[in-house]
A = this chain, B = another copy of it.
Amino acid sequence: MDFDAYLDALASAAPTPGGGSAATLVGALAAALCAMVARITAGAPKHAAVHAEAAAIAADADALRAAFLALRPNDEAAFGAVVAAQQLPRGTDDERTHRTAALQHALAHAAEVPLHVAGRAAEALALAERTAELRNAHLASDVACALDFARAAFDAAAANVRVNHAYLRNAATIAEQSNRLATLAATATARERAARAIIAA
Protein backbone atom coordinates (compact mmCIF):
# COMPACT_ATOMS: atom_id res chain seq x y z
CA MET A 1 0.00 0.00 0.00
CA ASP A 2 1.38 3.42 -0.94
CA PHE A 3 1.39 5.54 2.20
CA ASP A 4 1.29 8.92 0.43
CA ALA A 5 -1.70 7.83 -1.68
CA TYR A 6 -3.38 6.56 1.50
CA LEU A 7 -2.81 9.93 3.20
CA ASP A 8 -4.29 11.70 0.17
CA ALA A 9 -7.38 9.49 0.40
CA LEU A 10 -7.60 10.02 4.16
CA ALA A 11 -7.31 13.81 3.78
CA SER A 12 -9.94 13.93 1.03
CA ALA A 13 -13.66 14.61 1.48
CA ALA A 14 -14.44 10.97 0.59
CA PRO A 15 -16.13 9.20 3.54
CA THR A 16 -13.59 6.33 3.56
CA PRO A 17 -10.91 5.87 4.72
CA GLY A 18 -11.47 7.60 8.07
CA GLY A 19 -10.13 7.43 11.61
CA GLY A 20 -11.08 3.77 12.13
CA SER A 21 -9.06 2.72 9.11
CA ALA A 22 -6.08 4.84 10.17
CA ALA A 23 -6.16 3.21 13.62
CA THR A 24 -5.24 -0.13 12.05
CA LEU A 25 -2.07 1.44 10.57
CA VAL A 26 -1.07 2.93 13.93
CA GLY A 27 -1.61 -0.49 15.53
CA ALA A 28 0.55 -2.10 12.84
CA LEU A 29 3.35 0.39 13.63
CA ALA A 30 3.13 -0.60 17.32
CA ALA A 31 3.38 -4.30 16.46
CA ALA A 32 6.34 -3.70 14.11
CA LEU A 33 8.22 -1.81 16.84
CA CYS A 34 7.74 -4.72 19.27
CA ALA A 35 9.13 -7.00 16.55
CA MET A 36 12.17 -4.73 16.09
CA VAL A 37 13.00 -4.68 19.81
CA ALA A 38 12.55 -8.47 19.97
CA ARG A 39 14.75 -9.10 16.90
CA ILE A 40 17.59 -6.84 18.07
CA THR A 41 17.43 -8.46 21.52
CA ALA A 42 17.41 -11.95 19.98
CA GLY A 43 20.68 -11.08 18.21
CA ALA A 44 22.49 -9.66 21.25
CA PRO A 45 24.75 -12.16 23.12
CA LYS A 46 24.26 -10.34 26.43
CA HIS A 47 20.51 -11.06 26.24
CA ALA A 48 20.98 -14.82 25.65
CA ALA A 49 18.73 -15.66 28.61
CA VAL A 50 15.69 -14.23 26.79
CA HIS A 51 16.48 -15.25 23.19
CA ALA A 52 13.68 -17.84 23.02
CA GLU A 53 11.09 -15.38 24.36
CA ALA A 54 12.41 -12.65 22.04
CA ALA A 55 11.99 -14.95 19.02
CA ALA A 56 8.45 -15.82 20.17
CA ILE A 57 7.60 -12.11 20.56
CA ALA A 58 8.91 -11.35 17.06
CA ALA A 59 6.68 -14.08 15.58
CA ASP A 60 3.64 -12.94 17.58
CA ALA A 61 4.30 -9.32 16.57
CA ASP A 62 4.47 -10.23 12.88
CA ALA A 63 1.13 -12.07 13.17
CA LEU A 64 -0.44 -9.15 15.06
CA ARG A 65 0.77 -6.68 12.43
CA ALA A 66 -0.87 -8.81 9.71
CA ALA A 67 -4.09 -8.94 11.74
CA PHE A 68 -4.20 -5.12 11.98
CA LEU A 69 -3.60 -4.75 8.24
CA ALA A 70 -6.33 -7.31 7.45
CA LEU A 71 -8.86 -5.27 9.47
CA ARG A 72 -8.31 -2.06 7.47
CA PRO A 73 -10.41 -3.03 4.39
CA ASN A 74 -13.04 -4.44 6.77
CA ASP A 75 -13.33 -1.06 8.49
CA GLU A 76 -13.62 0.78 5.20
CA ALA A 77 -16.24 -1.68 3.88
CA ALA A 78 -18.26 -1.51 7.11
CA PHE A 79 -18.36 2.28 7.10
CA GLY A 80 -19.06 2.28 3.38
CA ALA A 81 -22.13 0.10 4.08
CA VAL A 82 -23.42 2.70 6.56
CA VAL A 83 -23.02 5.46 3.97
CA ALA A 84 -24.78 3.30 1.35
CA ALA A 85 -27.69 2.59 3.73
CA GLN A 86 -28.01 6.31 4.53
CA GLN A 87 -28.43 6.98 0.80
CA LEU A 88 -31.31 4.51 0.34
CA PRO A 89 -34.61 6.10 -0.75
CA ARG A 90 -37.06 7.12 1.97
CA GLY A 91 -40.07 8.31 -0.07
CA THR A 92 -42.58 5.66 1.02
CA ASP A 93 -43.29 3.89 4.31
CA ASP A 94 -41.87 0.66 2.87
CA GLU A 95 -38.72 2.44 1.76
CA ARG A 96 -38.30 4.07 5.16
CA THR A 97 -38.78 0.74 6.94
CA HIS A 98 -36.27 -0.94 4.65
CA ARG A 99 -33.76 1.93 4.98
CA THR A 100 -33.99 1.93 8.78
CA ALA A 101 -33.43 -1.83 8.97
CA ALA A 102 -30.49 -1.69 6.55
CA LEU A 103 -28.94 1.25 8.37
CA GLN A 104 -29.30 -0.36 11.79
CA HIS A 105 -27.76 -3.59 10.52
CA ALA A 106 -24.87 -1.64 8.95
CA LEU A 107 -24.29 0.39 12.12
CA ALA A 108 -24.07 -2.73 14.30
CA HIS A 109 -21.46 -4.18 11.95
CA ALA A 110 -19.65 -0.82 11.70
CA ALA A 111 -19.29 -0.90 15.51
CA GLU A 112 -18.17 -4.53 15.47
CA VAL A 113 -15.13 -3.92 13.24
CA PRO A 114 -13.46 -1.25 15.45
CA LEU A 115 -14.29 -3.49 18.42
CA HIS A 116 -12.05 -6.09 16.75
CA VAL A 117 -9.40 -3.40 16.17
CA ALA A 118 -9.64 -2.46 19.87
CA GLY A 119 -9.12 -6.13 20.73
CA ARG A 120 -5.97 -6.22 18.60
CA ALA A 121 -4.77 -2.97 20.19
CA ALA A 122 -5.24 -4.52 23.65
CA GLU A 123 -3.13 -7.46 22.38
CA ALA A 124 -0.51 -4.95 21.18
CA LEU A 125 -0.33 -3.44 24.66
CA ALA A 126 0.08 -6.92 26.17
CA LEU A 127 2.77 -7.68 23.59
CA ALA A 128 4.55 -4.41 24.45
CA GLU A 129 4.54 -5.52 28.08
CA ARG A 130 6.22 -8.81 27.11
CA THR A 131 8.67 -6.76 25.01
CA ALA A 132 9.42 -4.50 27.99
CA GLU A 133 10.09 -7.63 30.06
CA LEU A 134 13.00 -8.47 27.75
CA ARG A 135 14.66 -5.58 29.64
CA ASN A 136 16.80 -4.33 26.76
CA ALA A 137 17.42 -0.89 28.30
CA HIS A 138 18.94 0.53 25.09
CA LEU A 139 15.58 0.09 23.35
CA ALA A 140 13.27 1.31 26.13
CA SER A 141 12.28 4.37 24.07
CA ASP A 142 11.15 2.11 21.20
CA VAL A 143 9.01 0.11 23.65
CA ALA A 144 7.59 3.43 24.88
CA CYS A 145 6.73 4.38 21.28
CA ALA A 146 5.05 1.00 20.76
CA LEU A 147 2.95 1.66 23.87
CA ASP A 148 2.05 5.18 22.65
CA PHE A 149 0.95 3.86 19.25
CA ALA A 150 -0.96 0.85 20.65
CA ARG A 151 -2.79 3.11 23.12
CA ALA A 152 -3.69 5.57 20.34
CA ALA A 153 -4.94 2.70 18.17
CA PHE A 154 -7.08 1.47 21.08
CA ASP A 155 -8.57 4.88 21.86
CA ALA A 156 -9.22 5.64 18.18
CA ALA A 157 -10.95 2.27 17.70
CA ALA A 158 -13.02 2.81 20.86
CA ALA A 159 -14.15 6.22 19.56
CA ASN A 160 -15.31 4.49 16.39
CA VAL A 161 -17.31 1.89 18.34
CA ARG A 162 -19.05 4.66 20.29
CA VAL A 163 -19.84 6.86 17.29
CA ASN A 164 -21.85 4.02 15.76
CA HIS A 165 -23.65 3.45 19.07
CA ALA A 166 -24.81 7.08 18.94
CA TYR A 167 -26.98 6.16 15.93
CA LEU A 168 -27.79 2.54 16.84
CA ARG A 169 -31.24 1.87 18.36
CA ASN A 170 -30.84 -1.74 19.50
CA ALA A 171 -30.09 -1.34 23.20
CA ALA A 172 -29.09 -5.00 23.58
CA THR A 173 -26.43 -4.72 20.85
CA ILE A 174 -25.13 -1.47 22.33
CA ALA A 175 -24.93 -3.01 25.82
CA GLU A 176 -23.25 -6.18 24.59
CA GLN A 177 -20.65 -4.33 22.51
CA SER A 178 -20.06 -1.75 25.26
CA ASN A 179 -19.45 -4.53 27.78
CA ARG A 180 -16.86 -6.14 25.50
CA LEU A 181 -15.21 -2.76 24.93
CA ALA A 182 -15.07 -2.10 28.69
CA THR A 183 -13.44 -5.50 29.28
CA LEU A 184 -10.86 -4.78 26.57
CA ALA A 185 -10.24 -1.30 28.00
CA ALA A 186 -9.52 -2.75 31.43
CA THR A 187 -7.03 -5.21 29.96
CA ALA A 188 -5.42 -2.50 27.83
CA THR A 189 -4.97 -0.18 30.81
CA ALA A 190 -3.54 -2.90 33.05
CA ARG A 191 -1.04 -4.09 30.44
CA GLU A 192 0.02 -0.55 29.52
CA ARG A 193 0.53 0.36 33.18
CA ALA A 194 2.62 -2.76 33.83
CA ALA A 195 4.75 -2.14 30.73
CA ARG A 196 5.39 1.51 31.62
CA ALA A 197 6.41 0.49 35.15
CA ILE A 198 9.00 -1.92 33.69
CA ILE A 199 10.60 0.61 31.33
CA ALA A 200 10.61 3.32 34.04
CA ALA A 201 12.43 0.99 36.47
| A138: min CB distance to chain B, Å | 9
Q: Chain A interface: which size bin?
A: 35 or more
Stretch of A36-44, A94-102, A171-179, A180-188 at the chain-chain interface: A36-44
Main DSSP-derived SS at the A contact region: helix
Bound: A1/B2 CA distance, A: 6
Contact of B61 with A36 in the complex, beta carbons under 8 Å: no
Q: Which chain B residues lie closer than 8 Å to A141 at the CB level?
A: 19, 159-160, 162-163
| A100: min CB distance to chain B, Å | 18
Contact of B145 with A156 in the complex, beta carbons under 8 Å: yes
A4 within 8 A of B: yes
A13 within 8 A of B: yes
Contact of A149 with B39 in the complex, beta carbons under 8 Å: no
A152 within 8 A of B: yes
> A131-167 toward B: CB 8 Å interface, digit per residue (1/0)?
0000000001110111011011001100110110000
> A1-21 toward B: CB 8 Å interface, digit per residue (1/0)?
111101100111101001110
Bound: A7/B22 CA distance, A: 15
Besides A19-B141, A22-B145, 10 other A-B contacts (C-beta < 8 A): A7-B32, A11-B39, A13-B43, A18-B36, A19-B33, A19-B146, A23-B148, A141-B162, A144-B156, A145-B156
- Cβ contacts A to B, 8 pairs, < 8 Å: A10-B29, A10-B35, A13-B36, A19-B142, A19-B144, A20-B145, A148-B151, A151-B152
* Pairs of residues from A and B, 5 with the lowest C-beta to C-beta distance, nearest first: A19-B145, A152-B152, A11-B35, A141-B163, A13-B39
